[in-house]
Amino acid sequence: MEKINIRTNKRNEIIDITKGIRTLVGNSGVENGICVVFCMHTTAGITINENHDPSVKSDILFSLEKMSPIHKEFRHSEGNSDAHVKASLMGSSLNMIISGGKLVLGQWQGIFFCEFDGPRNREICVEFISR
């Protein structure tokens, strides 16, 4: 199992981690199999989306903010339940395929760490399974 440390800088932030995951896949020696990326936090998630136009990231954050605002009815004492909801909407883990020693991704796909209660020091774990 490998780990990647991520420093986030804003409360809501989407960070491209594709390059780091690709490097770990290359180092793993797995020719054909799968790669699991797991987020160790409850106010952050992981997703795959477009890595070309950075506006997609800010548009996703804007839309998530509308979907999951801080409701006045929230009872969680830390006051960050909006972030917990967004984390579950994006999900805690990703499942990707490795083929010919490389991560299988579509032309426009990137892997993104989604911070919803930063800035914080975050950690993700990555595991590889050979077919």
How far apart CA 98 and CA 26 sit, in angstroms, is: 10
Q: By CB under 8 A, tell whether 40 contacts a second copy.
A: yes
Write out the binding residues for a second copy, residues 47-86 only, by CB under 8 A.
Answer: 47-50, 53, 55-56, 58-60, 62-64, 66-68, 71, 73-78, 81-82, 84-85
Query: Which is closer to a second copy, CB of 54 or CB of 119?
Result: 54
Which of 67, 73, 65 is CA-nearest to residue 116? 65
DSSP per residue, 38-72: EE--SSEEEEEEE-S-THHHHHHHHHHHHHS---T
106 binding a second copy? (CB under 8 A): yes
Residue 115 found at the interface with a second copy (CB under 8 A): no
**Cβ distance to a second copy smaller for residue 9 or 88:** 88
Q: How far is the CB of 9 from a second copy (least distance, A)?
A: 20
Residue ranges in contact with a second copy by CB under 8 A: 1, 32-34, 36, 38-42, 47-50, 53, 55-56, 58-60, 62-64, 66-68, 71, 73-78, 81-82, 84-85, 87-97, 99, 104-109, 123, 125, 127-131
